[in-house]
C-alpha cells in the first residue's frame, strides 16, 4: 500500500521524495517463554529444509545470475523424491562479520540445522541476487507445474542475522517483489548481531543474541516459523543533491535504484 508522494519545494537544492509500503514482519511473541521448551533438531530440520533439487537449482541460478541456471536440477531430480513439500521453508542471510568472532560459528550452526544451501553469507550472496535469480527460479518452475517449487515460494520466510543496516538492506531488496507484482513478499525475522538492534528490539527478537546457548538458535528458528505476521511500514526516500556534486552516502542511505528528475 503506497502513501501519497511528498516532496520539498523544487527550488530547494535538495529534494526528498518518500513513499510508504507495508512489509511483512514476524513478531517474536513469547520468545523468552520458549527457554524451557525442548525442540527436536531433526524435526526442526524436516520442517525448514527444502528438497535438495530445489536448493541446488536456486543456488546455481544465483551463482550464474541466470533464472535458467538451475534448470538441470529440475530435469534430473531423483526418482525417489516423494513430492513432500517443506512445511516452513526458510532462507537465512547472515553477515558473518557481525557479532564479533561468533559470526562464522553461528553460520556453521545454522547450516547444520537447516542446510548449507539455505544459509547465505552476505559476503558471497547479495539479497538482490536472491530476489532476482533464486526466487525467480522457484517462480518459473512453480508456474511450469512444479507443485513443490510453487508451495516453497509461497510459504517461504526469511531470517536475517545481522544489525539494523543488514536488516534494512534485505528488507529493501525484498520490497522489489511487491513493486514488480511478485507477491507474496516473504516475512522477515531477525537474529540480532549488531550494536543497536532497534528493529529487533521493537519486534520482540531482543537486543542481542545469547551465543552461550546453542539451543537459542533452535528456538529462534522455531519462532520464525510459528510467530504471528504483522506489518512494518517501510519508507522509500529519494535524495537529490545539488547539480554536479557526487557523494558517497552512508550505509543507512544505501542506493536501491537510480532516479532522475526533470527540472
Higher pLDDT, 255 or 118: 118
* pLDDT level of residue 43 (50, 70, 90 thresholds): very high
Point out which residues pair with 21 in neighbouring strands: 234
Give the distance between the most distant pair of CA atoms in the chain. 67
Return the domain boundaries, the chain.
15-253
Q: Tens digits of per-residue pLDDT, 71-120?
A: 999 988 766 577 788 999 999 999 888 766 778 888 999 999 999 999 99
> What pLDDT digit, counting tens, does each position of 155-167 carry?
999 999 998 889 9
Residue with cell 533464486: 134
Q: Is the pLDDT of residue 261 over 50?
A: no
CA gap 230, 203 in Å, rounded: 9
| DSSP classification of residue 2 | P
Cα separation, 21 vs 233, whole angstroms:
6
Strand ordering across the sheet containing 15-26: 119-121, 90-94, 157-162, 188-192, 15-26, 229-240
Query: Residue 21: pLDDT above 70?
Result: no
Give the pLDDT band of residue 12 (cuts 50, 70, 90): very low
The DSSP-derived string for 173-234 is HHHHHHHTT-PPPPPEEEEE-SSS-HHHHHTTS-SS--TT-THHHHHHHHHHHHSPEEEEEE
Full-model pTM:
0.79
Element (H, E) at 138: helix 136-143
Confidence check: pLDDT of 11 > 60: no
- Give the pLDDT score at 170: 93
User: Would you state the pLDDT for residue 3?
Assistant: 34
Amino acid at each position: 500500500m503506497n502513501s501519497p508522494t511528498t516532496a520539498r519545494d523544487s527550488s530547494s537544492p535538495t529534494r526528498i521524495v518518500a513513499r510508504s509500503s507495508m512489509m511483512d514482519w514476524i513478531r517474536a511473541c513469547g520468545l523468552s517463554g520458549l527457554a524451557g521448551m525442548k525442540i527436536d533438531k531433526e524435526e526442526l530440520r524436516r520442517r525448514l529444509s527444502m528438497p535438495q533439487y530445489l536448493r541446488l537449482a536456486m543456488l546455481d541460478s544465483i551463482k550464474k545470475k541466470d533464472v535458467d541456471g538451475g534448470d538441470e536440477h529440475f530435469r534430473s531430480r531423483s526418482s525417489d523424491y516423494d513430492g513432500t513439500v517443506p512445511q516452513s521453508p526458510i532462507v537465512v542471510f547472515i553477515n558473518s562479520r557481525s557479532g564479533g568472532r561468533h559470526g562464522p560459528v553461528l553460520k556453521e550452526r545454522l547450516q547444520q540445522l537447516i542446510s548449507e544451501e539455505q544459509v547465505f553469507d552476505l559476503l558471497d550472496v547479495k539479497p538482490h541476487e536472491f530476489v532476482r535469480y533464486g526466487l525467480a527460479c522457484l517462480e518459473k518452475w512453480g508456474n511450469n507445474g512444479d507443485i513443490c517449487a510453487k508451495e516453497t515460494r509461497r510459504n517461504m520466510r526469511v531470517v536475517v542475522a545481522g544489525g539494523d543496516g543488514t536488516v534494512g538492506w534485505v528488507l529493501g531488496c525484498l520490497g522489489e517483489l511487491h513493486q514488480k507484482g511478485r507477491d507474496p513478499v516473504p516475512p522477515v525475522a531477525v537474529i540480532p548481531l549488531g550494536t543497536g538492534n532497534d528493529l529487533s528490539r521493537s519486534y520482540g527478537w531482543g537486543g542481542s543474541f545469547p551465543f552461550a546457548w546453542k539451543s537459542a538458535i533452535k528456538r529462534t528458528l522455531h519462532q520464525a516459523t510459528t510467530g504471528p505476521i504483522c506489518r512494518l511500514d517501510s519508507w522509500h526516500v529519494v535524495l537529490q543533491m545539488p547539480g554536479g556534486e557526487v557523494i558517497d552516502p552512508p550505509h543507512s542511505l544505501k542506493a536501491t535504484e537510480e532516479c532522475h528528475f526533470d527540472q
